[in-house]
Amino acid sequence: MHRGESYERVRAELASLRSTYGPCPVRQTTVPVSSTTYEQVRALTDRSVVDAGVRIRNGRGESLAVSTGDGWGDPWGHVDDVEAIEDGAYRVLQETTDVGCEIQGLLGITILCLTDATDDARDPVYRLGALFDGGRRRDLDCQDCQWRPVTSGPFVEAY
């Protein structure tokens, strides 16, 4: 199985983040997905290999969370190749919460390898998820958000 072009693009993004922020936790995982999901992610990867999120915390150790459909999580989304990862993370935060922040650092990176669960011959698709530190806030006016206990590590959860 060939790693493909998305692997090289993820490696380049990882090197860029490490040169800017230094070392941080990296989680690598492989996820077999349906052919439909594989095709959707592969098409998305033609535009970008990066997803990004921002974790904003309060003084009680909780983080700002948005509904993910099957629970709550950090605001995250896709970053376009034409924007810096930090700019994309900020844009996603604004679009999902209408909240702004100042990016203060990088909390963690997820390298995700997606495979087609029904066709082993297809090349895997790689994506990089970056979770940024959006600092601490007291009160926020966000109708679709909640302060929730931090239940996951510093990684973007996707797919």
pLDDT tens for 56-73 read 998 888 999 998 888 888
Q: pLDDT for 90-99, tens place per residue?
A: 999 999 998 8
Residues 13/85, Cβ–Cβ less than 8 Å: yes
Distance (Å, rounded) from C-alpha 94 to C-alpha 90? 6
Averaged pLDDT, 103-115: 94
Domains and CATH numbers, the chain: 5-149 (3.90.79.10)
Question: Residue 2 has what pLDDT?
Answer: 61
Q: Measure the CA angle with vertex 74, ends 156 and 64; round to 5°.
A: 155
Residues 33/115, Cβ–Cβ less than 8 Å: yes
Residues, the chain, total?
159
Averaged pLDDT, 85-106: 93
Averaged pLDDT, 124-151: 87
Distances (CA, A) of 76 to 17, 73, 107, 117, 123: 17, 8, 13, 25, 26
